[in-house]
Amino acid sequence: MKNFTIYLVILIFLFVSKVMGQETFESKARQIANKIEKITKEEKATLKEEVEAVNVQLSEGKITQEQADKRKKELAEVRATIIEQKVTEAQNELNDLVQQKVDGKIKEGDSIKKHTLVIHWNDKDWKDSRKRKDSIRGEKRTTSQFVFAAGLNNMMVDGKLQDSNYSFIGSHFYEWGFTYNSRLMKNDNLLHAKYGLSLMYNNIRPTDNRNFVVDGNQTVLQKNAINLDESRFRNVYIVLPVHLEFDFSKPKIVNGKTYFKTHQSFRFGIGGYAGINVKSKQILKYNQDDLDYKTRIKGDYNVNNFIYGLSSYIGYKEVSLYMKYDLNPLFQDNLVKENNISLGLRLDLN
């Protein structure tokens, strides 16, 4: 799909013509602007109908998801090409009109006005325009963000870090998802409720050439007979994070009105998360007989099906230092209770 935004800036002069029935430069320019706007509206409406027809075929099982996506892309490209062609014709009309004015064929008046026409095509352009407008009129009380976090991951036993059992530098976590940020007070920007949905990856790398083995209801580390190049244990979770966020972004006053913006200054959040385990997997890499092997072993490994914990972050604008700690142990019935702990950087992008 060809994405584009057409910005037409028309600087025109208003005048009262002494010749009855003579069209002004302004009225002609406005007609062309309306023509361009009508073109985009009609083509987008047609595209919407065509996409809905494809969705009907998909829901009835006449086409696959892949075929539907391909068809939608083709339809969007066709409509984008049609819009571009028709708008080019209208732009040529505008160029001719401007040339007539330069040649003095259209009289000037005493009154001067500036008009700006902004036409949007596709969601990205619309969002970019909304962001520019928001810089003047402020945000809604509830906004949304894309969240990405990454950093070091390890285990805790009785308040002690298990860096002897798991590589301190080699064990990592990743998290990404979407959140909503709702300002709690109408006339104050300090308190916000932040909530959403995230996908969380917790990785630990055992030390001393060991990997996890299951012995009944116990999951323990055991030395491997093969010299391992890598031993990694990964757990994937879908979680619902909830935080109370304190945002110290100052309000802006424009024309006597107060507007609130978020993520403009220091902020910190405290809260927690809860979710479910969707995958547990052990990854082993080794070399044998001059051949490289990578083995992925999936299983439940007696891992808890649910996860819940505490989390907090503190930072400036979009970037913050992020820490999370599982309140329940990684393994259900192990005699030694190991709880996951993570520390890293977090991005909250409006």
pLDDT, tens digit, 9 for 90 and up, residues 263-307: 889 999 999 999 999 999 999 999 988 889 999 999 999 999 999
Q: How far apart are CA 174 and CA 169, in angstroms?
A: 14
- What does the pLDDT average to over 112-129? 47
Taking only the tens place, the pLDDT of each residue in 219-232 is 999 999 999 999 99
Between the alpha carbon of residue 54 and those of residues 7, 151, 245, 301, the distances in Å are 31, 43, 42, 44
Longest dimension (CA), the chain: 100
pLDDT at 46: 86
State the pLDDT at residue 125. 52
What pLDDT does residue 26 have? 63
Nearest to 279 by CA among 260, 264, 296, 256: 296
Residue 74 pLDDT: 85
Asked if 297 and 284 touch (Cβ cutoff 8 Å), the reply is yes
Q: Which of 31-35, 78-82, 203-207, 325-329 has the lowest mean pLDDT?
A: 31-35
DSSP three-state, residue 164 = coil
Tokens standing for residue 270: 């405290």
pLDDT score for 109? 43
User: 131-154: per-residue pLDDT in tens?
Assistant: 554 444 456 889 999 999 999 999
Pick the range with the lowest mean pLDDT from 126-140, 147-161, 181-195, 318-332: 126-140
Tokens for 75?
A: 């339809």
Element (H, E) at 191: strand 188-204
* pLDDT tens digits, 14-35: 333 343 334 556 667 677 777 7
Report the pLDDT value the prediction gives residue 12, as an integer from 0 to 100. Answer: 34
Check residue 22 and give its pLDDT: 44
Instruction: Report the pLDDT value the prediction gives residue 38, as an integer from 0 to 100.
Output: 80
**Residues whose CB falls within 8 Å of the CB of residue 51, separated by 6 or more in sequence, listed in order:** 72, 75
Helix axis angle, 25-59 relative to 65-102, nearest 10°? 180
Residues 54-76 have a mean pLDDT of 85
Q: Looking at residue 39, what is its pLDDT?
A: 80
Confidence (pLDDT) at 286: 92
Q: pTM score, two decimals?
A: 0.59
